[in-house]
Chains A and B, each alone.
Chain A
Amino acid sequence: MANVVAENLTRVFETKSGRLLALDSVSFEVQTGEVFGLLGPNGAGKTTLIRILTTLLLPTYGRALVGGFDVVKEAKKVRSIIGFSSSSERVGFDFVTARRNLWFFSQLYGTPTGEANRRIEELAALLEFQDQLDRKLYTLTTGYRQRLNIARAFINDPQVVFFDEPTNGMDVFSAKKVRELFVKEAKTNSRTIFLATHNMFEAEEVCDRVAIIDRGRILAIDSPENLKSSLSKPVVLFETDIAGASISDPTRLDGVVGGTIKVDNENETAKIRVILRDEDFLERVLQLLEKRGIRVFNYQRIEPTLEDVFISLVGAGFAERERGIEA
């Protein structure tokens, strides 16, 4: 059963500099018990989409249903069946204990106190912060505050839970706990988990399906495995000297569909990751690098990641996209 449906969802913002198309005819369905990832760079439209689905924002055009309810016409019903957590680490009331924060939000959903207390203990145990429950929020570390924030999203026993960059800035251990919780809640309790992220690893690890979004448009939707296997073009990693950093845009290299560059200033090296139009262009790229005075220490064909899928679709990686480099 589809728990989240978007049909031609469009959002236009009127800004001082003109109209900004944040979402452009977005359509998809997410099933019950599915962990669905929305993967894209900052500014791609992920947060706008989540704001519409959680009833914080109205769409300009199009329609969206959550749990079968229209987010515009039946907002009250939608609100009663959703949970939401944003990446903000400051969420909550500082001078109130973690337990009281969770209890307060449970009461806003009309949860009886006994049931609320049981859920608080259960969620704290799942996310391993029971010993922090009676501490005031301002005394908690960032990691614990973020775990509390995740727990709060489940406090009303929601049918659909939305997360916007949930593990952003989280320590490795906490992030692992959170990801385990997402999978458990989706598979054991048949919740729909809707996850907006730019964390490739996270999307690959927990999502049943991933929608790749860029500039308000969904470019592809499939399982992470299918998305990666659909990429028939070779992905090659060149390890070069620091001169490799001079290539600001790999797509200017003949035969390169897209790519990313990571510079290691400390070791004075660069890693140029490119997607080639086909295998025949490998020699051509090597010649071009040599011609530009870039020394290649090593190169190898590597397994594609979701970012490579993104690169093959738009020509640039997340970081380049966020910096505004055009394909």
Chain B
Amino acid sequence: MIRKLAASIMLGLEREFGWTFPPLVILLSMIPATAGVLTAVMVYWVGASAADRADPRWVAFLIVGASLYTHFASYIWAPLSAVSEGKASYTYPLVFISHSSLSYIAGRVVASFIESSFTAVLALGAATLAVKALLGVTLELSFTPLSIALFSIGMIVGLLAALGLGLMLAAYAIFVTRLEWGLPVYISGILMIFSEAIFPSSALPAPLPIIAESLPFTHIIRAARAALIGPLSLYPAEILAAALLGFAWFLTGLAVYTYSEGIGRRRGYIDYRVV
């Protein structure tokens, strides 16, 4: 199991970085991430300044939330890609035959998580510097060893939740012969609205905040804000909620994926080509 997982992570990393010079991959993937974060900040700043209500604390809120959101959005699709691309290149059926599909999907998620983490952290730093340079605002973000460690724990807890969601998307990819490549965008869009990435869930009309509370990503973003902006006292409850919900999502994803593999084998979809 460990050997399979490690090999899948290494292969995933080679796939993520292997198409060109690796630092260039990081640099290129930083561009949309930073641009996304800065766009959210600028929209807020222009609107709030017009109303004479611009508040640097909301900018910090946006930067942390949007950075983490771009992080999740860029790697939750890894399982979908592993299965759908794998069906096109016939690697997925071979992985299935080797009885390693779960390790393989998990490995691809971890590889994508590593790449995305670099991007998210760099986007966070770049956006902070850009806000200072462009708006002349110094953000009250705490970058201490403790806050960075707590922020990193949040990202790792998010990995389990993302794997759960990813397994559900992978289950979908088993059945389709014509893949809707826009699916990750739709999912990301839903996450953006409900995960408190750019506005608090309390701004949503009832009963929609319930959806936000059931998403592990919401609690991870809140925990990250507690670590970097404060108050730190909110962190334990949020990270615990994120871990519990993430585990529940993971178990659900595992059950859905395992069931789909069984149905896929019965109906002959495992090695069906995807276009």
Contacts and interface: CB of A to CB of B under 8 A. Distances in A.
Interface of A: 13, 51, 54-58, 75-76, 79-80, 82, 84, 86, 88, 90-96, 100, 103-105, 107-110, 136, 152, 156
A55 B99 CA distance: 10
B95 A108 contact: yes
Sorted from nearest, which 8 A-B pairs have the closest CB atoms?
A: A107-B7, A108-B98, A95-B18, A108-B100, A79-B99, A91-B90, A88-B90, A57-B268
B14 A96 contact: yes
B89 A105 contact: no
A88 B266 CA distance: 23
Given A13-B268, A56-B270, A91 B11 contact: no
Interface in B79-112: 88-91, 93-100, 103-104
Given A55-B97, A58-B266, A92 B89 contact: yes
Contact of A91 (B6, B94, B103): B94
B84 to A, nearest CB: 14
A159 to B, nearest CB: 14
B88 to A, nearest CB: 7
Interface in B164-214: none
A93 B91 contact: yes
Contacts of A110: 3-4
Nearest to A72: B265
Contacts of B88: 90
Contacts of A58: 265-266
Nearest to B86: A93
A136 B11 CA distance: 13
Nearest to B88: A90
Nearest to B20: A95
Contacts of A136: 18
A155 to B, nearest CB: 10
Majority secondary structure, B binding face: helix
Contact of B94 (A57, A75, A84, A103): A84
B22 to A, nearest CB: 12
Interface in B261-275: 265-266, 268, 270-271
A56 B88 CA distance: 15
Contacts of B98: 79, 105, 108-109, 156
Contacts, number: 80
B265 A108 contact: no
A105 B93 CA distance: 12
Contacts of B10: 104
Contacts of B89: 90-94
Interface of B: 3-4, 6-8, 10-11, 14-15, 18-19, 88-91, 93-100, 103-104, 265-266, 268, 270-271
Contacts of B100: 108
B112 to A, nearest CB: 14
Contacts of A76: 99
A91 B91 contact: yes
A13 B268 CA distance: 9
A171 B265 CA distance: 34
A84 B8 CA distance: 20
A105 B19 CA distance: 20
**Residue of A56, A76, A105 contacting most chain B CB atoms (<10 Å):** A56
A108 B18 contact: no
A84 B95 CA distance: 11
A77 to B, nearest CB: 9
Contacts of A108: 4, 7, 95, 98-100, 103-104
Contact of A96 (B3, B6, B18, B268): B18
Nearest to A90: B89
A57 B7 contact: no
